Amino acid sequence: MSHYNIPKVQTAAVIDHSGDSIRIDHEFPVKPANELLPGECLVKLECSGACHTDLHAALGDWPVSAKTPLVGGHEGVGIIVATGQNTFNSPVKTGDRVGIKWLADSCLNCEHCKKGREQNCLKAKLSGFTVDGTFQEYVVSYVNHVTPIPEGIASDEAASVLCAGVTVYRAIKYSQTNPCDWIVIPGGGGGLGHLAIQYARVRGLRVIAVDTGSEKKELCLELGAEKWIDFKECQDIVAEIRTITDGGAHSAVVTSASGSGYRQAVDYLRPGGTLMAVGLPGKSTLEASIFFTVFKSISILGSYVGNRQDATEAIEIAARGDVKVHFTTKPLKELGNVYEGMKSGKIAGRIVLNMSQR
């Protein structure tokens, strides 16, 4: 049993129905320690990142629907305060600092799980989408999927690595690039993009960041982008990238939730280049010339979050100081305003919600 004093109710940000405004509930129930199932753990959260995916879940504008009522969020860091009775061989214990990711749980026994594609498990549980997530003070998660957080990284910085960081890290890892290759990051000044720049630099890649606005330009160049393109000012992005790279980029990791970012990529990639599809626009389609995709031997790969090993690697790189999250801290009650900022595209970097701020 837990030696922590676990309350019966807590504060949580709730969406009652898709498209509704956020409701801050100060009487939201906490699952008692003695009701935790084997393999479950209760985590007292210190903070949670806010991701564009959470906005999509709240709006209900994806082809797949989130459960409702819903407590969103999937970038949480906190302390395990209880584990379910009859939980055996747990890799974590009460008192450990852990992170909660988009992939809350998977069966670990199907073909997808065994091949390291746990995120594609047909029995996967998704934090803040199919199960309640991290926009609350206490969250139920699963011992086999929480990520231990090493020393050397603060909780509020680790939060965004758990989704944004892991997602772009995996995409770059599988982008079929080598040191000194050119990689383009559309949406480079955003939550995923500014981390993609840094993970690309860790792998020795040369980065072209595509975004708009002076604040995002300054951030991208500060983080190591070699070249900057403002898509609102540049007359021909494809021609500009071809010129910079002397024939085309080797890869593009499209983090923006915009169909245009995908359409341009096939055109500015050099022969043998790889398009890593990461950003998830709800209704846009990926349009590419079949002729030139074949003629240029272009690879188009979908990259969906990451598995447990990807998360461990991404966190360890950040804990060494090689990747820094650019974030602003806000209280949970500001989540509605954060969503408005996401809609307008005015947020540079990430927003992290501090659960101790009221």
Matching residue, tokens 């807590």: 10
Judge whether 168 lies within some domain.
Answer: no
Tokens of 91: 């890799």
pLDDT the model gives residue 286: 81
CA–CA gap between residue 173 and residue 163 (Å, rounded): 15
Read off the amino acid at residue 44.
K
Tokens of 32: 């008692």
CATH number at residue 57: 3.90.180.10
Residue 32: C-alpha distances to residues 42, 140, 142 (Å): 9, 10, 15
Q: Are residues 289 and 199 in the same domain?
A: yes
CB under 8 Å to 34, separation ≥6 — which residues? 1, 85
Tokens of 328: 């602003």
Judge whether 170 lies within some domain.
Answer: no
What pTM value is reported for the model? 0.91
CA–CA gap between residue 80 and residue 157 (Å, rounded): 18
Report the sign of the C-alpha dihedral through residues 304, 308, 313, 315, in that order. Answer: positive
CA–CA gap between residue 105 and residue 118 (Å, rounded): 9
CA–CA gap between residue 331 and residue 50 (Å, rounded): 11
CA–CA gap between residue 43 and residue 85 (Å, rounded): 15
The phi and psi torsions of 341 (rounded to 5 degrees) equal -65, -35
Q: Are residues 294 and 333 in the same domain?
A: no
Residue 344: give the domain boundaries: 9-162+306-354
Please name which of 223, 189, 187, 226 lies closest in space to residue 206, comparing C-alpha atoms.
226
Judge whether 4 lies within some domain.
Answer: no
pLDDT the model gives residue 248: 97
Q: Each residue of 278-329: pLDDT tens digit?
A: 977 767 778 788 898 999 999 999 999 999 999 999 999 999 999 998 899 9
Q: Each residue of 27-63: pLDDT tens digit?
A: 999 999 999 999 999 999 999 999 888 999 999 988 8
Q: Are residues 295 and 321 in the same domain?
A: no
Would strands 97-100 and 147-148 be described as parallel, antiparallel, or unpaired? Answer: antiparallel
CA–CA–CA angle 318, 125, 109 (5° rounding): 90
CB under 8 Å to 26, separation ≥6 — which residues? 9, 10, 11
The crossing angle, in degrees rounded to 10, of helices 237-245 and 259-268 is 40
Read off the amino acid at residue 314.
A
Q: Are residues 39 and 108 in the same domain?
A: yes
CB under 8 Å to 89, separation ≥6 — which residues? none
The phi and psi torsions of 44 (rounded to 5 degrees) equal -85, 110
Q: Are residues 312 and 294 in the same domain?
A: no
Domain boundary among 263, 287, 302: 302
CA–CA–CA angle 317, 320, 326 (5° rounding): 75
Domain boundary among 302, 325, 342: 302
Q: Are residues 216 and 275 in the same domain?
A: yes
Judge whether 169 lies within some domain.
Answer: no
Q: What is the mean pLDDT of each run of 10 residues along the chain (358 residues)?
A: 85 95 96 96 97 91 92 97 95 97 97 96 97 98 97 94 95 97 93 93 97 92 96 95 97 81 88 92 78 93 94 96 92 93 79 86
pLDDT the model gives residue 32: 96
